[in-house]
């Protein structure tokens, strides 16, 4: 077998080289699978949901905390009463602020349910009992506080 610069390589050498390439490929494939499966911030899967109607029923229940993950401007223009605001962009960095609520179920909301879905997933991965308010403020039929 002639390769590259005209050197003659034995069949055994080529077979050995081919086996090494196969082993490296398997190793890289396994590492890639593990990284993609368990590395980074993988979503937990199905995000638990609560409807506006169900959430409104527990609004006064002390066992629940409503958390607004919208921007501060959005929060001030209208929010569910007595709810803290931690924008989704800073939620992970500020997660320790919520440790005092670990014993409560946290109902996470935003405008439509997209950002709060990400926030719910993040909270669950940090050991909180959290659910996403479906439809967010767009579907909220309960009381609204305006802070401006």
DSSP 8-class letter at 47: P
Distance CA 101, CA 56 (A): 19
Give CA angle at 41 (72, 51), nearest 5°.
55
The residues that are catalytic are 110
Q: Is 52 helix (H, G, I), strand (E, B) or coil?
A: helix
DSSP states along 42-88:
---SSPPEE-HHHHHHTTT-TTEEEEE-S-HHHHHHSB-TT--B--H
């Amino acid at each position: 077998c002639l390769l590259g610069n005209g050197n003659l390589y034995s069949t055994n050498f080529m077979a050995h080289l081919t086996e090494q390439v196969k082993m490296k490929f398997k190793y890289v494939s396994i590492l890639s699978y593990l990284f993609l499966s368990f590395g980074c911030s993988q979503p937990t899967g199905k995000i638990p949901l609560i409807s506006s109607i169900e959430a409104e029923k527990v609004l006064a229940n002390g066992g629940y905390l409503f958390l607004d993950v919208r921007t501060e401007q959005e929060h001030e223009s209208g929010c569910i009463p007595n709810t803290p605001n931690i924008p989704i962009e800073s939620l992970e960095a500020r997660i320790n602020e919520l440790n005092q609520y670990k014993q409560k179920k946290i109902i996470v909301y935003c405008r439509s349910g997209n950002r709060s879905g990400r926030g719910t997933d993040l909270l669950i991965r940090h050991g909180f009992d959290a659910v996403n308010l479906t439809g967010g403020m767009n579907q909220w039929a309960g009381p609204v506080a305006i802070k401006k």
